[in-house]
Structures are given as structure tokens and as C-alpha cells.
Structure 1
Amino acid sequence: MTSAAVSNPTLFFNGGILQGEGVEHATRRIKDLDNVFQDTKVFGKTDPETLVYEVSSFLPVAEGTPGGLYFGLTHIHPGKVGNEYFMTKGHFHALIDRAEYYWGIKGEGVLILMNENREVWAERMFPGSLHFIPGRVAHRVANTGSQLLSFGASWPADAGHNYEEIRKNGFARRLIDKNGIPTLI
């Protein structure tokens, strides 16, 4: 495309908020997170409308487009179910070899990673941290702080999401608050 005119962008990232044409928003509440938290008694007593996290995504091409790239922001609220921090559902990619980037914007958290052999490791997230998530690795994020955790993400448009594997089998280890310290067990 050739033009003498300089146009204004249609997508804006201001103060941790993603706005513009084509931005999609989703929320996840306690009621949406069955099989995520281990303490089912506390989970069952938690207000089902409690907001756990919000996602804004810019998806400029159709899902499955080779060479396409998506961009998103996630905001996880502080809180716990039992001794587990509020966290995202977690997923592998449907095209298992697809990688992704996450980067910390605000707050403190932990990126929890698990490979196909169910080996689990974790990385601290904080403003300015950058995380490469290789293909064949499931990932989820927990807010370990007392304030909102915000992070950005970029992933291939053809990656897709496989939430079912994690919903059925979970992660092999859990991140808990052990005497005020985020600990993998």
C-alpha cells in the first residue's frame, strides 16, 4: 500500500488498557474456573461472581492464519482460593509446537510452565520481565501480589488453545502460598 498520507493508529495501549477497533474482551470469574483450584470446599464457598481475571485481545487476522500474529493483555486480580493464588486456566497450544511471549507490565506474579512430560518449573513475573514460552509447553500465570497483575502476550494466529488437556489433567505441580512465599509443590 502506497500513500502520501500518514494515518493515525486504530489500536491503543494506554495505562494497561487495550482499546481500538477489533479488540475483544473476556472475563473469567470463579464460576468459570472449575477444576483449576485444588481446595474444592473453599472454591464452592467462594462467590461465583468473583472476578479473577480479564483478557483483552487484538486478533487482526482470522484464527489459523499462517504468519498471523495476535496481541493480548491479561489482568489478574489479587486473591486466593484456599492457599492457591488466583490464576489463569492454563493451556497448551492446539498446534503444540507454537511458542509465545509474555512480559510483565504491573504487579507481581509467577508464570507456571509444564512440558509434555509433565515437568513443571516457574518464573517470577514483574514489570519489565520478558518470558519466552517454547512450543510444547503449557502455561498459566498466578498473581502472587496484593495488587493487580498485568502482563502482555503475543502468539501466532495459528497456535490455537488446548484448554481441555489442563482441565482434565491439571498441572503436575501447584503454586501455593506457604508462609507468605510462593512455593511449587
Structure 2
Amino acid sequence: MINKSKVMYNGETFKLEGTGIKEKETRAKDLAGYFLNSEAYEKLDPETVMYRVEYQDNDLVEGTPGGLYFGITHLYPGVVGAEYFLTKGHFHAKRNTGEYYFGLEGHGLLMMTENSETILEEIRPGSVHYIPGNKAHRLINTGSKELSVSACWQTESGHDYALPEEMFPLRVFRDIVGKPVIETNS
């Protein structure tokens, strides 16, 4: 007997479809302290959805060795002051575990940091990004439409949301002509 997949990827909507799909939303109120311009941040509606994640966990509990999770992050376009919308970013709780990202839609950056050394990679449709273990990582939407990025990570990886200024020494702003400018976190 040939079984059908429980989950399908819809290339038109950039979403997962099927059974066992879970979703989380991160709202403006969840990102207090993440943006440099606190006055601009305070003007945001706290219920504004900044990004959402849909994922299939294969009915595995986080921390289970040998399993994989698959998901898609949808980061909306926008700025707080002039700083682009971003994800919280994280280390893996089990630091030496890696992850893959795959660009589906939109344009943005993958920021990876280890020991204050930061690497930025351009994300676009079709781009593949390996995130080695021990690196904090986050997404930044530098485009004008939703940035959708799929990810595959180990069930034992876990998430460690340390203080953002400790994980990410750089910030990305939109300049007056709409291009990204990278500045040191101050």
C-alpha cells in the first residue's frame, strides 16, 4: 500500500497544508526591547502580527533525539522607525545543532552570529542557507512583501532566546532610498 503524505507544501500560497500543522504568531507586544527606536515601537499597535510560523512536528516532543521538524516562517514587511521587521532570533538550546533555511518568497537577510562575529546572507526565492551549530540566527525582511522561509531542524535543538543585544551586534535599517544599511548595535 502506498500512503499519501500527511503534509503538502502549496507553492502558490507558500503555506503548509494537511494534518498536524501547528501555528504560532509573534506580535509587536512580544518584541519589546528588540528595536532601537523605542518611541517608534511604542506607536505600533501591540496586537500587530509581525511574523508567524507554521510547522509540522511529526508528533515528536522537543528534545527527542533523532527526529526532525519542518516549518515555514512568514515575516511581514515593514519598519520600526527605519529598522526592518525581524524575528526574535535564537541560539539552539543544544548549541552544536545546525539547521537549514530555504528561501520561498520575498527578499531579506539571514543574520548569524557567534562570539560577536556576524555573517549576513541574502535570502531570496530558491536560496539555501546552512546555519552551523553554535550560531545565533534571525531573519530580517528587507523587501516590500512577505518573506517566507522554510526551515528544517533537529527535534533535540531547542530554542534559547537570550538577550537580543547579546546575540546580535548589528542592526539593519532602511536608508532614504529604501536600501538596507547595516550599523553596529549601540
2:108 corresponding residue in structure 1: 109
| CA distance in 2 between partners of 1:18 and 1:71 (Å) | 10
RMSD value, Cα = 1.2
1:129 corresponding residue in structure 2: 127
Identity across matched positions, percent: 43
Q: How many residues align?
A: 179
Residue 167 of structure 1 and its aligned partner are, at CA, apart by 4.0
Which deviates more from structure 2 when the two are superposed, residues 151-160 or residues 19-28?
A: 19-28
Map of 1:39-118 to 2, 5 A cutoff?
39-60=37-58, 61-115=60-114, 117-118=115-116
The C-alpha deviation readout for 1:29-54, integer Å capped at 9, x for no partner, is 11111121111010011111111101
Contact between 1:78 and 1:149, CA under 8 Å: does it hold in 2?
Answer: yes
Q: What is the TM-score with the length of structure 1 in the denominator?
A: 0.93
Does residue 173 of structure 2 align to residue 155 of structure 1? no
| CA distance in 2 between partners of 1:170 and 1:132 (Å) | 18
SS at match of 1:36: coil
Question: Which runs of at least 4 in structure 1 moved beyond 3 Å after TM superposition?
Answer: none
| CA distance in 2 between partners of 1:99 and 1:28 (Å) | 23
| CA distance in 2 between partners of 1:134 and 1:125 (Å) | 16
Contact between 2:136 and 2:167, CA under 8 Å: does it hold in 1?
Answer: no
Please list every run of 5 or more consecutive structure 2 residues that lacks an aligned counterpart in the other structure: none
SS at match of 2:53: strand
1:8 corresponding residue in structure 2: 4
